[in-house]
A and B are shown apart, each in its own frame.
Chain A
Amino acid sequence: MAAADLNTVRATIESRLATELQSSPSIPVVFNNVSYSPTPNSSWVQCLLNFGANEYLSQGLTTDSQNRIVGAIVINIFTPAGVGSGANYTIGGRIRDLYNRIIVSGVYFDAPIGPEVVGTPAPEGYFQTQVRVTFEFIEEL
């Protein structure tokens, strides 16, 4: 038993998305703290991962004990503006299927929210939707 390696959890989550979006049709994906200048009128995806609350799960302080670590992934999907929403929702469907109620390397993904249309795209000039997925990981000490 050991404390959770949050970077391993991050890699588990992000690599799943990176691998999927590398497959045809390939779509650029950008993660936290990575600079990216999108090509106008192209499709691309931004993945923002955040760890949130931790809570006690069992007794025992630092030995033979467990914590629940929860987090959320916010995935912004950008597709060209003015050409309908089909391409965007196709990407959204791929992403949703990637996490929907799946357990990977001890990370439990909940049923995703979205894709929801974002009224004011950021950056401007795209049609933007957002998929949000909460997850949890049980840390065993």
Chain B
Amino acid sequence: MATIRGEQGTVQFDAAGSSNATIVGTRSWSLSITKETLDTSKHGDTFRSFVGSMISGSGTVELVYDPDATGQAAFLEDVLTTADPADATFELFTTGSTSGTDSVSFAGIITDMEITSTVGELVIVSCNFITSGAITSNLE
């Protein structure tokens, strides 16, 4: 058994979906996966029953802004992609950066980008995304 600390994590991304690369300066990431449910209760039932339905995900990646950091510009500017075909690929690692290991990967769309500049503090970028299509988990 080994617990993991946040600094072991990494985010990889490719706006074109061909070859993910590490975004330097990632401070945190989060991912929430939701499964919709369909009510299958029938007349005469006394307890409600469900089956699982569509699965979707959303989350946030937070960056310590550095205009020269590898991968940052392409990531935070992806929100400006018009008619976004959801071709961008993400891989969120809990530890390391070996594709397919300790990670969750998916295609997605960056839906929000917020950059914050405050006196005496580091400039921070926060990007929200939603998944599109299958979510592959390698968190085992």
Contacts and interface: CB of A to CB of B under 8 A. Distances in A.
Interface stretch (A3-11, A36-44, A61-69, A84-92): A61-69
Interface residues of A, number: 11
Interface residues of B, number: 19
Contact of A66 (B11, B25, B28): B25
Contacts, number: 41
B64 interface: yes
Considering residues A58, A61, A66, which has the most beta carbons from chain B within 10 angstroms of its beta carbon? A58
B8 A58 contact: no
A55 to B, nearest CB: 10
Nearest to B29: A59
Given A64-B70, A65-B7, A110-B120, A58 B64 contact: yes
Interface in B17-60: 22, 24-29
Contacts of B97: 60
B10 interface: yes
Interface in A15-74: 56-61, 64-66, 68
B120 A57 contact: no
Contacts of B122: 57, 68
A61 B24 contact: no
B24 A58 contact: yes
B11 A59 contact: yes
Nearest to B71: A64
Considering residues B8, B22, B24, which has the most beta carbons from chain A within 10 angstroms of its beta carbon? B24
Contact of A59 (B6, B70, B120): B6
A110 B22 CA distance: 32
Contacts of A68: 122
A58 B26 contact: yes
Interface of A: 56-61, 64-66, 68, 110
